[in-house]
Amino acid sequence: MERYADLVTHLQTVLPPDARPSLSSSVIPTIIHCIAGIAKALRTSHQVSLAGTANAFGDDQLNVDVLAERTIRDEIARCPCIVTASSEEEPIERPAGKSESNADSEGSEAYTIAFDPLDGSSIIAPNWTVGTIVGIWCGASALHQSPEKKQIAAILGVYGPRTTAIVAIRLPGSKPICLELGLGDSNNDTATCEIIRGKVQLQQQPPFKTRYFAPANLRAAAEDERYMKLVTHYIEHKYTLRYSGGLVPDVIHALVKGHGIYVSPVTATSKAKLRRLYELAPIALIMECAGASAVDPTTGKRILEDPIKDCDERGGLVCGSPDEVSFVLESFGLQ
């Protein structure tokens, strides 16, 4: 039986004919199945504790980090088109399966997966919403490639009261696609997938019913007068605060509500924390496919403008409604 047949049929309908058929029939359904598997495992992982190990960046790993990493690794190993993978827990590009597969076969589809298996470790213990971030790249490596051209799809899995996913695809010569899925388990324990919204799109024109803001790294406001003035502006103009401390839920909020701004600045003492390969690039693709903007707060450049040279490259993030992003850049003296 074809996994997630309704999703596959929908993707094949909205994508150009014969445009990377394995992307819609195999690669994306595989990642969606990973998200469903992680959600199911989290529901029975009542104890959240240190695993006693650290990833290659020196960050302490939780038992749920290891669980999510293993779930994705085991699943993508069975997808022949995913030839290479790296993650925030294991930041080295290596073969996704037991062999090199057909990465160098002329005319074949070959993809690299770069993922953060469980983003939001600091808020998972109190049972707040967390997520999975996945970037899908053409070829056998995501490094030294053009993110705008080579990262052709991205997925955000959201683990909250419901399990949902945002899928964005941008292929050369076709319109970008961004849709929202609902994931669940049927009575026979087989994962199900429902298309909640076939088109995720931020509002482009006012009036906006409510304006939302998510000020990440808020302590930096004590170090940067520009950021303090920006936050004060949001309060004085009666923006609604929607900030959980988790990158995935805070970005998803804007995509669901149709408006919002997320700001994670970088200062001399508040260093950049978000990794370009595993967090920034996938989120930027999704935001752009939904009609939003995603830029670097120190340069004002699009996140997807420059190649990623190293798995540990980090940066800040400003993303959301284009007019709000422009205002942030203006406030930071970048426009």
Name the nearest CA neighbour of 32 among 157, 142, 118.
157
Q: 140 is written with which tokens?
A: 């056998």
pLDDT digits (tens, 9 = 90+) for 168-218: 999 988 899 999 999 987 555 567 899 999 999 998 777 777 899 999 999
Alpha helices in 171-273 (DSSP H): 225-236, 247-257
Query: Please, which pLDDT band fits residue 78 given cuts at 50, 70 and 90?
Result: very high
Radius of gyration of the chain (CA): 19
Mean predicted confidence (pLDDT) in 126-134: 95
188, two tokens:
């026979």
Query: Which of these ranges, 56-65, 176-185, 229-238, 265-274, has the smallest mean pLDDT?
Result: 56-65
Q: How confident is the model at residue 269 (pLDDT cuts 50, 70, 90)?
A: confident
pLDDT above 80 (res 221): yes
How far is 121 from 83, CA to CA, in rounded Å?
28
Whether residue 322 has pLDDT greater than 90: yes
pLDDT: which is higher, 107 or 84:
84
When pLDDT is averaged across residues 128-152 and rounded to a whole number, the result is: 97
In angstroms, the CA 269 to CA 217 distance is: 11
DSSP assignment, residue 299? T
Q: What average pLDDT does the segment 232-253 reach?
A: 96
pLDDT band at 60 (very low <50, low <70, confident <90, very high): low
Least confident of 187-191, 225-229, 241-245: 187-191
Structure tokens at 267: 């200062």
Residue 27, φ and ψ in degrees, nearest 5: -65, -55
What sign for the dihedral angle of Cα 66, 67, 69, 75? Answer: positive
DSSP letter for each residue of 87-143: ESSS-S-EESSSS-TTTT-TT---EEEEEEEEE-HHHHTTT--EEEEEEEEESS--T
Note the pLDDT of residue 47: 76
Q: Average pLDDT of 225-248? A: 96
Residue 305 token pair:
């403008």
Q: What's at 73, amino acid-wise? A: R
Residue 159 has pLDDT above 90, yes or no: yes
Average pLDDT, the chain: 90
> Domains in the chain, start-ordered, CATH in brackets?
5-197 (3.30.540.10), 212-331 (3.40.190.80)
Taking the alpha carbons at both ends of the chain, their separation in whole angstroms is 53
Confidence band of 234 (pLDDT split at 50, 70, 90): very high
